[in-house]
Amino acid sequence: MKVKIYIQGLQKLLPHSWLEQFQYIHCSLLCQWIFLCGSQPLQFNQKSAMVFSPHQDDETFGCGGMIAHKREQGIPVVVVFLTDGQGSGGSDTKNTIVQIRKQEALEALAILGVKASEIHFLDKPDGTLQDLNNDEQQEIISRVAQLIQYYQPEEIYVPHRKDCHRDHEATYELVKVAMAANNTRVELLQYPIWLFWRAPLFILLKLQDLAAAYCFSITLVQEKKNRAIASYRSQIKSLPRGFMKRFLGSYEIFFKVE
């Protein structure tokens, strides 16, 4: 709680552009350290995958290169969106936002090679995953468990457990519970979205959190991933440019859950 109050205070004291500059430098230094000396290379494999994404765009930002690589090899990839994305705001009505974001997701994932039949929308209200009552929580855990049981993926991708976004962190926990309910024993990989941008090193983010980092080269599919990102037109305009830049590079960062 004290850390959150500290960050909120910093946001009020610093001009927006100063804060973004600080976050960009912090994010860039962390990623460079991980890439150059703080990670192991992640080798490509032939395992089928299921990607759980809190919102429409997280899957492409965090795992777009991995998804594209697998699909180019004909490896099955299923993508599951937990929320409807209506919290992105703007002047459009919530129903309009939901439809826009679904269409953008279908377009982005088509570029990456995922069939529409392999994309699932669970449609929980954006921003509510940590506030679900017991019945709602059990219902979404059951749906996630059913999808895992049906597709039997050999790898599962989720947002990082400390990703500094309520829906992202809740997605990690909900999927973990669903896996336990099914007694699913497959490799679980975390993809960071907001982690390096919002989590100050040595405050929210510890060195031991970075110890399990792996870098995956996406050079061969980088252009495809960048086109998929560009499909999220309604989101790009509201995201910091420095934040966006990290996802347009030639590698992706994942963390294994031991």
Q: Where are the alpha helices (DSSP H) in the chain?
A: 2-13, 16-36, 58-72, 94-112, 134-151, 166-182, 195-198, 207-210, 222-230, 233-236, 241-246
Torsion of Cα atoms, 36 then 57 then 19 then 250, to 10°: 20
Q: How many residues does the chain have?
A: 258
- pLDDT score recorded for residue 143: 98
- pLDDT score recorded for residue 150: 98
Q: What pLDDT, in 10s, does the model give residues 173-194?
A: 999 999 999 999 999 999 999 9
Whole-angstrom CA distances from 48 to 130, 178, 208 are 29, 18, 29
Q: What pLDDT, in 10s, does the model give residues 187-233?
A: 999 999 999 999 988 888 888 888 889 999 999 999 999 999 999 99
On average, the pLDDT of the chain sits at 91
| CA–CA separation, 181 and 197 (whole Å) | 33
- pLDDT score recorded for residue 246: 94
DSSP track, 218-247: -GGGHHHHHHHHHT-HHHHTTS-HHHHHHT
Q: What is the pTM of this model?
A: 0.91
Average pLDDT of span 84-89: 77
- pLDDT score recorded for residue 207: 85
Q: What pLDDT, in 10s, does the model give residues 121-148?
A: 999 999 999 999 999 999 999 999 999 9
Average pLDDT of span 84-106: 85
- pLDDT score recorded for residue 120: 98
Q: What pLDDT, in 10s, does the model give residues 99-118?
A: 999 999 999 999 999 999 99
**Residue 88 above 80 pLDDT?**
no
- pLDDT score recorded for residue 1: 47
